[in-house]
Every structure is written in C-alpha cells, then in structure tokens.
Amino acid sequence: MTRAELTRQKVIRPDWAAIAKIVAHRPWPMPDSPWMMTMSWQNLLFAHWPISPAVLRPHIPACFDVDTFDGEGWISVVPFIMSDVGPRGLSRLPWVSKFAELNVRTYVRHKDKAGVYFFSLDAANPVAVRVARMGFHLPYHDARFELSRFGARQSYQCKRSDGTASFVGEYEPLDGELLALERDSLERWLFERYCFFTVDRAQRPYVGEVQHAPWSVRGAASSIRINTMTAPQGLALPDVEPLCHHAERLDVLGWPVRPVV
C-alpha cells in the first residue's frame, strides 16, 4: 500500500472535545494548558520482549529510571498507521497527516510518573520526521514502507532509509473479547501510560503528555521474519516469542514537550 493509497482510505473524524473529557482512568490529571495537537493510531501491533534492566540501563539517559514489572524490563516494537496528525484547529493535509510508522520503545519512570521512552521512530513522511526531531526532540528516522491488508491480516514491511534497521512481518488480532487491562496486570502496565520522556542533544530531559480513552486491545498472532529494529542501539532482543497485542484504533490528544526537573 502506497502513501497515496493510505490517504484515500475512508476518513473517520473523532470527537476530540469528547476525548478530552474521558479522564476517570488517568493516573494523574491532564495538564492545565490546552491540548495542542491530535493524532490517531490505527491497526497497531505491539510485540513485547522481556529484557534485563541491567541490559537496558546503559541505553537510557541517566535522568530516567528503568521501569520494571516483576523485576523485568520490556522492549516493544510497534508497527502501525498514523493519521489525523496536526495542530489543533487546522485543516489536515492528507499527504502530511497520514503515514506508516514503526516505533521501538521501552518503559521508564521520572520521579512519580511512568512513561514511555523511544529508542527510535521510523516514518514514511519526511515532513513529520523533521518536525518531530526539531519540535519534540524525538529520534525519528526516514523509512520506506510496504503495507497490504487481507481481511484482518496486515502485512507490514519497514526499511530505514540508511539501511541500518528493517522489519518484515504479518499480524492479525485474535478472535474473542477485548482484554480487561486489570489493575496490577502486565497488560495494564504496558499500555496505560500517558506521557513519553525524551532528551535533547544536551541530554536535558523533556516530557510529552498525551490524553486518550483507555486502550482497547486483543491478543495478536504474528509472524515476524525480519526484525533488526534494535540493532542500531546495540540491543539484542531475547530469542523468545514476543508477547503480542493488537489495537484497531486509538484517538489521541497531545501537548508540546516541556522540560522536566
């Protein structure tokens, strides 16, 4: 599926104001300032691998703590489609606001907040890559993607433009009920995070807050044939089958990043 084919797909317009009011599930209040951007994440695979905190520690800025569940750290590889990306109140440009993306993330804490730390974010949109690098201090990379979907089954290929990382695989949601992200469960720990942490070139820490409804996820079946997405960080994923989840869609509000102390 080309970028042009992605942009021609049916557009669903979320009720952003309603999303801002769904707050009972949040672990902390939304920021006092107005939200400034929107995005929708679609057809997501989450492939999670347990990894020793001691292995993760050298790859995460010292200002953040490695977050663990039952003593294990985790890395997640997340291919999906990004859509409806843009500033609040402005019209969307289809060739800018919808594109394929693949993230590699782990889980960290800064003081009392649990969040996500991105090792990399690959995207098929050069404009988004440069805006996110400059405006959000995120490690975005240009990449080429090939996508096709057969019913519920998604075929997904990503190759970083400099050739240093690739992903080739297929995935689909499992039949059955949505998972109940129960309190103190691994699934809730992995998904229910409402900020990301990052650093600028001087290693100064920043936080980016997000708001959305609770995640709706199912188990997923996956066949991952190539996955070198952690190789540029010098991280080797354990030789075990990943824990996989699928989410069909999540509509998200975002705030500008701000320094944390």
Q: Flag whether 47 is in a domain.
A: yes
DSSP string computed for the chain = --HHHHHTSPP----HHHHTT--TT-SSPPPSSPP-EEEEEEEEEEEEEEE-HHHHGGGS-TTSEEP-BTTBEEEEEEEEEEEEEEETTSPP-HHHH-EEEEEEEEEEEETTEEEEEEEEEEES-HHHHHHHHHHH---EEEEEEEEEEETTEEEEEEEETTSS-EEEEEEEEPSSPPP---TT-HHHHHH---EEEEE-TT--EEEEEEE-PPP--EEEEEEEEEE-TTGGGT-PPPSSPPEEEEEEEEEEEE---EE--
Q: Flag whether 124 is in a domain.
A: yes
Q: Flag whether 91 is in a domain.
A: yes
Q: Dihedral, CA atoms, 209, 210, 214, 218, nearest 10 degrees? A: -110
Distance CA 58, CA 154 (A): 34
**pLDDT reported for residue 261:** 82
In tens digits, the chain (261 residues) has pLDDT values of 555 555 455 667 899 999 999 999 999 999 999 999 999 999 999 999 999 999 999 999 999 999 999 999 999 999 999 999 999 988 777 767 899 999 999 999 999 999 999 999 999 999 999 999 999 999 999 999 999 999 999 999 999 999 999 999 999 999 999 999 999 999 999 999 999 999 999 999 999 999 999 999 999 999 999 999 999 999 999 999 999 999 999 999 999 999 998
Domain membership of residue 228 as a residue range = 3-27+36-255
Q: Flag whether 197 is in a domain.
A: yes
Q: Flag whether 132 is in a domain.
A: yes
Q: Flag whether 261 is in a domain.
A: no
pTM for this model (two decimals): 0.94
**pLDDT reported for residue 3:** 52
Q: Flag whether 260 is in a domain.
A: no
Domains: count for the chain: 1
**pLDDT reported for residue 92:** 74
**pLDDT reported for residue 100:** 98
Domain CATH for 143: 2.40.400.10
